[in-house]
Amino acid sequence: MIVFDQVSFWYKDLTETSFRLKEVSFSLAKGCINGIIGGNGSGKSTVARLMTGLMPVNSGTVTVFGKDPYHQLLHSGFLAGIIFQNPENQIVGATVEEDLAFGLENLGLSHAEMHCRIIETAARFGLGSLLREPVANLSGGQKQLLCIASVMVMEPAWVIFDEPTSHLDPWSRIDFWKIIDEFVHHHDLGVVIVSQLAEDLARYERILGFSSGSLLFQGSREEFKQAGAEIHEHFNYPEEWKYEQLLAAEHA
Ligand SMILES: Nc1ncnc2c1ncn2[C@@H]1O[C@H](COP(=O)(O)OP(=O)(O)OP(=O)(O)O)[C@@H](O)[C@H]1O
Ligand SMILES: [Mg+2]
């Protein structure tokens, strides 16, 4: 469970106009695909960073499995892994294999177990034939897949994905969602996905909607569909859902 209780946060240079996350409360459970939506600058990545414990809150509390992720990250490693919005910020290895091995080295695994996990994860993300490839030679989409694979290889309990499909082609996106679906529903992985793409929104089973640092909506996909225009106007509401509702209204 990830719980935000009355969380406020601001970056250091607080002025009247600067961004502020405003007393945000929610809880997210494993077993379903949790999604965060909101326009540019609404606070999605900020919430993702707070979940991972990359920075402390100014007031309120964040807990992951009942523990403070900031304190935990400082002292004994992460509670929730994060895949950053920009793949360039995340890659640390010179080759695909090195990058996949990097996080594993601190987990105290045997050499055989590490090797096994790397091969399996690389294959799952379509990187199996690129293990010796210098990271610099990868395409933008391949780098994004590598970032995802390098976190997943550590088998964290929760993973926060910040715009994970932005560089992926339509086929890789379908594969990405297949993997997420399998891990969430069959391997007990807790998942939070930040994405503004309408096609991704349709995959979310629970939705948090942010606008200017305020949590405007939280609920299921069905509840989001039923929310009024005063909520929908703040988000990239899928065209097909609008048609669906028009049709339903006509047949009512
Ligand atoms: N390191 C930082 N220092 C100061 N201000 C920041 C920092 N990171 C983000 N901000 C500001 O906080 C606000 C929210 O940023 P955040 O990155 O959380 O938005 P976002 O919803 O992820 O946007 P996007 O869709 O563009 O990724 C923005 O106004 C941004 O300028
Ligand atoms: Mg962002």
As a whole number, mean pLDDT of residues 115-134 equals 96
Taking the C-alpha atoms of residue 183 and residue 172, their distance in angstroms, rounded to an integer, is 16
In a domain, 164, yes or no: no
As a whole number, mean pLDDT of residues 188-212 equals 93
Give the closest residue (by CA) to ligand 1 atom 9. 46
As a whole number, mean pLDDT of residues 120-130 equals 95
Q: Is the CB of 43 under 6 A from ligand 1?
A: yes
Task: Please tell me the least confidently modeled range out of 15-19, 30-34, 174-178.
Answer: 15-19
What pLDDT is recorded for position 237? 87
Q: How many structural domains compose the chain?
A: 2
Q: Model's pTM, two decimal places? A: 0.92
Mark whether 176 and 250 lie in a shared domain: yes
Mark whether 57 and 1 lie in a shared domain: yes
Q: Is the CB of 85 under 6 A from ligand 1?
A: yes
Give the closest residue (by CA) to ligand 1 atom 12. 19
Domain range for 237: 1-14+26-74+171-182+189-252
What pLDDT is recorded for position 238? 86
What pLDDT is recorded for position 186? 92
Q: What is the pLDDT of residues 209-227, one digit of tens each?
A: 999 999 999 999 999 999 9
Taking the C-alpha atoms of residue 68 and residue 79, their distance in angstroms, rounded to an integer, is 9
pLDDT-based confidence at residue 79 (cuts at 50, 70, 90): confident
Of 193 and 244, the one with more pLDDT: 193
Q: Is the CB of 42 under 6 A from ligand 1?
A: yes
Mark whether 44 and 94 lie in a shared domain: no
Mark whether 175 and 100 lie in a shared domain: no
Of 197 and 35, the one with more pLDDT: 35
pLDDT-based confidence at residue 18 (cuts at 50, 70, 90): confident
Cα of 218 to ligand 1 centre, how many Å?
21
3-state helix, strand, coil split of the chain in percent (to 5) is: 40, 25, 35
Give the closest residue (by CA) to ligand 1 atom 3. 11
Taking the C-alpha atoms of residue 201 and residue 195, their distance in angstroms, rounded to an integer, is 7
What pLDDT is recorded for position 240? 86
> Across the chain, what does the average pLDDT equal?
92
In a domain, 21, yes or no: no
Mark whether 211 and 240 lie in a shared domain: yes
Cα of 133 to ligand 1 centre, how many Å?
33
Mark whether 98 and 53 lie in a shared domain: no
DSSP E strands, the chain: 2-9, 21-28, 33-38, 59-64, 80-83, 158-162, 190-194, 206-211, 214-220
As a whole number, mean pLDDT of residues 66-74 equals 92
As a whole number, mean pLDDT of residues 46-75 equals 94
Share of the chain above pLDDT 90, in %: 69
Indicate the top mutation candidate among 42, 86, 195, 236 to test ligand 1's pocket, ranked by most ligand atoms within 8 A of CB: 42
What is the DSSP track for 107-157?
Answer: TT--HHHHHHHHHHHHHHTT-GGGTTSBGGGS-HHHHHHHHHHHHHTT--S
Mark whether 89 and 135 lie in a shared domain: yes
As a whole number, mean pLDDT of residues 3-26 equals 91
Cα of 201 to ligand 1 centre, how many Å?
21
